[in-house]
Structure 1
Amino acid sequence: MPTRNLPDDPNLDHLRGQAKALLKGVRAGEPTAVELAGEFHPVRTLADAQLVTARSYGFPSWPRIVRHLELVDQYSRSPHRQSVGGPLDTPEQRADEFLRLATLHYGEDDPARQQAARDLLERFPDIARSNIYTQVVCGDPDIDFTQASVEGGPYRWEPLLYLTYSRLDAPHQVEIARRLLENGADPNAGYLWQGMPSPFTALTGVFGRGEGDQPAHRDRVELARLLLDAGADPNDSQTLYNCGPGCPPPYDDVHLELLLEYGLGRGDGGPWHERMTTAHPTPQQLLEDELAFASLAGLVHRVELVLAQGTDPDGTGTQHPGFSGERPYELAAVQGHTEIAELLRARGAAPLDEIHELYAAAMRGELPDVDPVLAARAVARNRHLPVRAAEVGRAVAMEPLQRLGYDLNGISRGVAPIHRAALNGHLQTVRRLVELGADPELRDQLYQGNALSWAEHNHQDAVADYLRGLPQGTGTR
């Protein structure tokens, strides 16, 4: 079993350094190093240490992890690191600026960028025919389709990616995409955002959403069907994340219904799974993660869709930290999603243990007298529960969770409960937290903001007004 995940933008020199440090640690008898060697392979030489390093990341050998890093380097792109507002002196500079403004890159995307792209095009109409990349974004069908698979433009993308990530609502998008595919464009075209192993494919671009909640392409269904008919693999991990845990509600199931129709959860995972191997989830793991998310979020129809594929109701998928290692039934029952919990139990999910019964009672606002040892075990098992209760506005859970032993000022994954409650506009939860001693001036570890800054960031005016009106010094820290 791998013990860790590769970092973003993984670097071979860094891994070589880890192997050398492991060898040195084993020779010095350091407990962590000795334990790692004991789990994966005896370490006597640098080659042994390299093998253990590779296996600790889930790769069978050192050459295999080296090959993985070569592929990451080949497909890695960082479009979010390219700033706009540069010189516009040449046609090439104007074309690149236009493409940066017109397409999603998941850094500082904003509708104003697309308007800026339209304004730039109005100033310099020749941009529309600068190259194949601006042509597909502008909807110009008079294209030299012999360049259909040539990478270029500011992001070194294929034309199909510029089309599927564009948000200019240009004409002829489906027809241009069809012609690109007929002339050799790869329906599985994609890139690795900052080297992360979940590929941002053409399908990912079509469906949008994700962090920052970007809009879908205007022709998302038609383009998605076109890509899937042409051979795009439906086991698209980034689409599932962007339309699930990676974005706020409301949710729809258009993407999921379409991907399931074309085989999501089946097959070998397609070319990206072959490239990324253990760093990329299997089709079955994708479905299990989707079931866990839908159970946590209370999405009944989505649960029904995934269970209809024969998905294990107790499967834990990739064990994503967002699910705290819990099974779908535990997630649903603790959150009070009764209908989903009943569906999962009917499909054979194991019942709750005594600790999850405690969690469920606390989330309902109840907590009978609890053995201190059991309470301590409950707190240790899931330290994220108060943050989760706060982000969904479960004000009644705050006092029972405190009685159970949780610190309501405790930081979990960089934030405290009051930050999440403020961000999501749960005024009653913020009030209750403050009444119970939560500190509104506590700074999070992600952005160094207090509760007021989190409320203001998300335009939660009622919460912000309440926090501004608190007496100075309110809180325990």
Structure 2
Amino acid sequence: MASSLPNNPSLDRLKADARRLQRGVTAGDQGAVDVVKRCHPKPSIVLADSTSRFALHDAQLTVARSYGFSGWPALVHYLRIAAGLTVDPSAVDEDALDKADRFCALSALRYDDDDAPPRWQAAADLLADDPTLVDRHVWAAAAASDVVALQRHLTADPALARREGGPFGWVPLLHLTYSRASLGRTQVDVLEAAATLLDAGADPNAGYLWCGMSTPFTALTGVFGEGEQGPRRQPRHPNDQALATLLLERGAHPEDQQTLYNRMFRPGNDHLELLFAYGLGRVEPGPWHRRLGEAMETTDQMWARQVGWAAAHGFADRLTLLGAHGVDVSGVTVVERSVPEDPNERDADGVTALHHAAREGDVARIRLLLDAGADPSITDGRFGTTPLGWAEHAYQSEAADLLRPVTP
């Protein structure tokens, strides 16, 4: 099953958690006992005399299972593998970087709170001020999709196609697929740059573990883009379909779990249609499954997440597509998307339907909600912000233009 480890997990911290749990159980702490009851496979046995003795290995087993692992050895095995694959883009001090590395960092879709168009424009400005940045190293050339510069680097050293480097320790292909700098590259330019790297031996399944999370962020993940912050802050690559097709033709595995997660939030199934065309749901486990094992989500869990979200958000066409490709959608009830009876009703986070529509840039739904009496001055319970603030934060300019005149 998929692990639920915290960001940037450390073995030392988890060992400390196990010792803390052991002390809590022997001290009779009810919270600690409840964790054992919930996560240990034989709680009644290990808790029978827990006030006098609760073994450390039982505490470790409990901790491991609480994070989705079968046992402590499996957790330790994952952490050792993850140590060499983990990247936390937010931890990079961009001010301390040289210009070429700064260009790479600013270009990249990083999946943190700083993802936004001004960063990618700053990268484009940096390259415009100094076009020789692409000659400094192969990672800058890849981030710029500069075919000529890439060919120069690879002619000098073909092994650079698979070498990790740049500000995040990424291989060049990741800098190409995650780059969102507006450089005026044509689709032909981008595909030729990607093919140049692949021809030189770049791995189409290259990726990294974002903050140690067990779902890999692959080259395909970068191409397909999107995610929790929305399509303006975390956009698709401008040439997403053509570039993804190239990667799939060159061997990228179609069961890309992070792509499916990132793209499940909004309507539109072009990513699924392409992945199904290249074997999604029909192929054997890929290299990341073989490498990470039980830390990754199972295929059944992956589909359950997709089906559940589609049903809860009225994506009936997605359910039809999933069902047509053998995914079990039986018994699923699609929630029809409609205006709430109370248009100002708040969810558990104090967020209204108008906030959500503003963040998604759903102009038609914003109009429906306003016509139904939604109050644009209501602030949410998470950030104390109006729907207009949500639209502006998500760079949904059309939604912001609609809400601005009616927001006090």
Same topology, TM > 0.5:
yes
Tell whether the 8 Å contact from 1:75 to 1:192 is kept in structure 2 after alignment. Answer: yes
Distance 1:428 1:224 in 2: 36
1:106 aligned onto 2:107:
no
Tell whether the 8 Å contact from 1:37 to 1:52 is kept in structure 2 after alignment. Answer: yes
| Structure 1 portions without partners, runs of 5+ | 315-326, 337-391, 403-407, 469-477
1:281 aligned onto 2:300:
no
Matches within 5 A, 1:56-455: 56-82=66-92, 84=94, 86=95, 93-107=98-112, 108-136=114-142, 137=144, 138-140=146-148, 141-144=151-154, 145-167=158-180, 168=183, 169=185, 172-210=189-227, 211-213=229-231, 214-245=234-265, 249=266, 251-314=267-330, 329-330=332-333, 332=334, 335-336=335-336, 394-395=339-340, 397-398=341-342, 408-409=345-346, 411-413=347-349, 415=351, 419-420=355-356, 423=359, 426=366, 429=369, 443-445=380-382, 447-450=383-386, 453-454=389-390
Residue 8 (structure 1) shift:
1.9
Tell whether the 8 Å contact from 1:40 to 1:56 is kept in structure 2 after alignment. Answer: no
Tell whether the 8 Å contact from 1:266 to 1:284 is kept in structure 2 after alignment. Answer: no
Whichever residue aligns with residue 303 of structure 2, its letter is L
Aligned twin of 1:54: 64
Whichever residue aligns with residue 41 of structure 2, its letter is F
Q: Secondary structure at the match of 1:191?
A: strand
* Deviation readout 1:107-164 (Å, 9 max, x if unpaired): 3233343333333223222212111112222232333222111000111100111111
Tell whether the 8 Å contact from 2:350 to 2:380 is kept in structure 1 after alignment. Answer: no
Distance 1:212 1:154 in 2: 25
Tell whether the 8 Å contact from 1:269 to 1:282 is kept in structure 2 after alignment. Answer: no
Tell whether the 8 Å contact from 1:434 to 1:440 is kept in structure 2 after alignment. Answer: no
* Deviation readout 1:257-313 (Å, 9 max, x if unpaired): 111122212344322223333332223332332233333333343222210122112
Whichever residue aligns with residue 178 of structure 1, its letter is A
* Deviation readout 1:347-375 (Å, 9 max, x if unpaired): xxxxxxxxxxxxxxxxxxxxxxxxxxxxx
TM-score (norm 1): 0.69
TM-score (norm 2): 0.79
For CA contacts below 8 A with separation 6 or more, give which structure has more relative contact order. Answer: 2
Tell whether the 8 Å contact from 1:206 to 1:216 is kept in structure 2 after alignment. Answer: yes
Tell whether the 8 Å contact from 1:268 to 1:282 is kept in structure 2 after alignment. Answer: no
1:5 aligned onto 2:4:
yes
Residue 68 (structure 1) shift:
1.4
Residue 398 to residue 205, structure 1, CA distance change in 2 (3 Å): same
Q: Secondary structure at the match of 1:40?
A: coil
Q: Secondary structure at the match of 1:274?
A: helix
Distance 2:102 2:222 in 1: 19
Whichever residue aligns with residue 129 of structure 1, its letter is D
Residue 191 (structure 1) shift:
1.1
Percent of aligned pairs sharing the same letter: 38
Whichever residue aligns with residue 133 of structure 2, its letter is I
Distance 1:393 1:291 in 2: 20
Moved more, 205-214 or 156-165: 205-214
Aligned residues: 374
Residue 414 to residue 24, structure 1, CA distance change in 2 (3 Å): farther
| Structure 2 portions without partners, runs of 5+ | 48-53
Q: Point out the structure with max Rg over C-alpha.
A: 1
